[in-house]
A and B are shown apart, each in its own frame.
Chain A
């Protein structure tokens, strides 16, 4: 009995040695996980686009239009970089990338307002870049509304309405719109939680894939144990490594990149367990399809972008075609990412994410059987050769 336990630990340590000794795996696992934890969020570190360059076409040249421009410049989302005399000039500024938006103040802006006629301000933002466009539009709409209210207030005061009442009638209903779960509207809290689980998923699949693909045609410790033992040993070895990686990602990186965290440590650990188990089993099952060591990386590289978009944290699930969602349910990362977001970022209760958790366990069971079957198939012919 004791001999058996010993041999299991020997198998795990042999696995760990094989992982560390293999340069391609070590680079993917240790290098990749560390490198990506810095590289992927790097473009988003400033979180929110601010001070978008705006060019103004002021056809009115009045005190009010100048005040409007100053107010626009004061908005955190916009910085007025210059004035031009015609819209076509503004267009050339936008096309050359000098400006990303334009504001047109029509002729007679101040006069019409004082006469009580309505005026129309025109805004344009470069919608080739949505974040820029929304920043420009939000900034200018606020500025325009503010200018309108000020004119209204002046008009009311001139008519003899009491200031307090004037203020009340201008803001008769307050709409209190507040973002939930990601209060700063930052970009890293939006991208990092889903993306990092995906990185764990992909590197784990690649690691198991390369390890298996390199072994099937050769001799080694993996032929000295039964396929079932090999699968169990391999899962344990990778679980051991990914225990550290997940702690680093879900623990430190989430904190470092200011991801909002709502679940307790126990719940997160309980969530990661079937995810990692299912992923490593899936990796071993996949590895039995390969005999060339450079193939797993290529295949998994190509599927990583589709998996990212189908998992629903970038593009809403409600808009993804149903058949794609059904197909994607067999990928451990898909239920894991959505469940993790609900549990950890949005603070859902455990019972509400339970179905996804059970789905991960079911995936683990299926992939475990497949892995067992695949490894048995892969190791069989060689046994015949030797005998």
Chain B
């Protein structure tokens, strides 16, 4: 027990003496978390520029432009001709084009059906899809008013006009994220991905300190006491960062959360332990600081894409769904959504945590690898002693 306390003290000492490690656990996470939040802080896309080419110049076309103006998502910009609007769209100055054709009002009155052309920039998929539905909604409701006037002219009683125009109305509800806020949709998984990177980096840096010549493979107590000490030091530190993320999102920004935050912290703890296991595995296999980091990077850098937040998991190819399970963050995100959106209790979370079972298989492999390495290290150190003897003899001889 005493030795463990001593090891923990040594671990904290090393953390204090390494500027980069200290940065990794202090200002780098805070800066990057705040930076990423700031990036998405707009939350709701609004005032997106859309080119309106009004060739009709009628009362109707101006009314439709005003309707677009009234939509918070759309910021209509008037263009005189189509070609300049197209150029602006190609330079991504506008995200969509609405063409109100010549003779729009006349065709509508005389019973021809005119066509309003809408083009939206789907290269920027997120903006494009949003604009497409908003522009169609706005134009549709604008045209409905015109149709209502027509109904009244035909002698339909005013009380029935609405149900004549659209007998089936719809009420669409975005469940669990009422106003489609991108902060509560994107920022938590982005920050979790970042947090996972930080955990991987700090832990593998700390482990690779043991690779120096005075490192611990040859120490008589073996590597495990030091690994326990590292886990004991870095788990609370990283949990503090995780707690900071939760406090920022769900306390300071007051994003809606249905379940309890303590369950989220439990889920974070499970994720951290899984990250530690993976990093230990990489450490025992690679035993080189630069290669460890490279490998960890290759593994964890695409974590965000595999979480299944932006692109749903059940639409991924099988291979991607398997690869996804290697990353602890994907397991965590499932629990995160369950708690934050659905407000599930601890029984469901306990059930979800069992999805980490695959990581338990790493433990015996770790023991086996560490045993092998320790043996090799013992042999190596013996040889080194002999080498040192030889070297000293040689140097004596040189003298």
Q: Known interface pairs A49-B311, A305-B193, A324-B38. Does A175 touch B92 (Cβ–Cβ under 8 Å)?
A: no
Complex partner residue of A31 from B298, B306, B342, CB under 8 angstroms = B298
Q: What's the nearest-Cβ distance from chain B to residue A37, in Å?
A: 12
Residues of B69-92 contacting chain A, CB below 8 A: 87, 89-92
A138 in the interface (beta carbon within 8 A): yes
The chain A residue sitting closest to B46, CB to CB, is A319
Q: Which of A129-137, A220-228, A232-240, A377-385 contacts B (4 or more CB under 8 A)?
A: A129-137
B310 interface residue per 8 A CB criterion: yes
Q: Which of B3-11, B119-127, B275-283, B374-382 contacts A (4 or more CB under 8 A)?
A: B119-127
- Residue in A113, A120, A341, A353 whose CB lies within 8 Å of B170: A120
What is the CA–CA distance of A94 and B258 in the complex, to the nearest angstrom?
Answer: 15
**What residues of A have a CB within 8 angstroms of the CB of B162 in the complex?**
118
Q: Which A residues are in CB contact (< 8 Å) with B169?
A: 118-121
Q: Which of B40, B119, B167 contacts A118 (CB 8 A)?
A: B167
Q: Is the CB of B108 within 8 A of A172?
A: yes
Within 8 Å by CB of A347, from B90, B124, B167, lies B90
Least Cβ–Cβ distance between B398 and chain A, in angstroms: 22
The answer to whether residues A190 and B47 also contact, given A117-B163, A298-B293 and a CB cut-off of 8 A, is: no
Task: From the candidates B91, B128, B167, B337, name the one contacting A128 in the complex (CB within 8 A).
Answer: B337
A-B interface pairs (CB < 8 A), number: 315
Complex: A132 Cα to B311 Cα, angstroms: 8
Other-chain residue from B95, B104, B123, B305 in contact with A190 (beta carbon distance below 8 A): B123
Q: Is the pair B171, A120 in contact by a Cβ cutoff of 8 Å?
A: yes
Number of B interface residues in the complex (CB < 8 A): 111
Q: Is the CB of A341 within 8 A of B311?
A: no
Residue among B20, B140, B173, B312 making CB contact with A122, cutoff 8 Å: B173
Given known contacts A187-B311, A316-B95, is B124 in contact with A175 (CB within 8 Å)?
Answer: no
Closest residue of chain A to B40 (Cβ to Cβ) is A315
Partner pick for A119 among B114, B168, B294, B309, CB 8 A cutoff: B168
CB-CB contacts below 8 Å: A118-172 with B? 118-134, 137-138, 140-141, 144-145, 147-148, 151-152, 155, 168, 171-172
A148 engages B168 (CB within 8 Å): yes
Residues of B within 8 A of A298 (CB): 20, 24, 201, 205, 293
Task: Find chain B residues with CB under 8 A from A210 CB.
Answer: 290
Instruction: Determine whether A82 belongs to the interface, using a CB cutoff of 8 Å to chain B.
Output: no
Contact pick for A32, options B114, B292, B298, B341, CB 8 Å: B298
A182-B115 in contact given A32-B298, A304-B301, A342-B92 (Cβ < 8 Å): no
Q: Which residue of B lies closest to A190 (CB)?
A: B125
Chain B residues, CB < 8 A from A129? 308-309, 312
Distance in Å from the Cβ of B157 to the closest Cβ of chain A?
10
Which of B237-245, B313-321, B364-372 interfaces with chain A? Answer: B313-321
In the assembled complex, the Cα of A353 lies from the Cα of B298 at a distance in Å of 33
CA distance A353 to B290 in the complex (A): 39
Measured between C-beta atoms, what is the minimum distance from B94 to chain A in Å?
10
Q: How far is the CA of A232 from the CA of B174 in the complex (A)?
A: 56
User: Residue B317 contacts which of A24, A45, A317 (CB distance < 8 angstroms)?
Assistant: A45
Are B91 and A175 within 8 A (Cβ)?
A: no
Q: Which of B95, B162, B342 has the most CB of A within 10 A?
A: B342
Asked whether A44 lies within 8 Å of B176 as measured between CB atoms, the reply is no
User: Complex formed: what's the CA distance from A42 to B302 in Å?
Assistant: 10
21 contacts between A and B (CB under 8 A): A31-B298, A42-B319, A42-B320, A42-B323, A46-B315, A117-B163, A123-B173, A125-B174, A126-B175, A131-B311, A140-B170, A173-B116, A176-B115, A177-B136, A180-B89, A180-B122, A294-B293, A315-B186, A319-B45, A346-B92, A349-B90
**5 more A-B residue pairs beyond the given contacts A123-B171, A190-B122, A294-B293, with a C-beta to C-beta distance below 8 A:** A46-B317, A124-B172, A128-B309, A172-B108, A180-B119
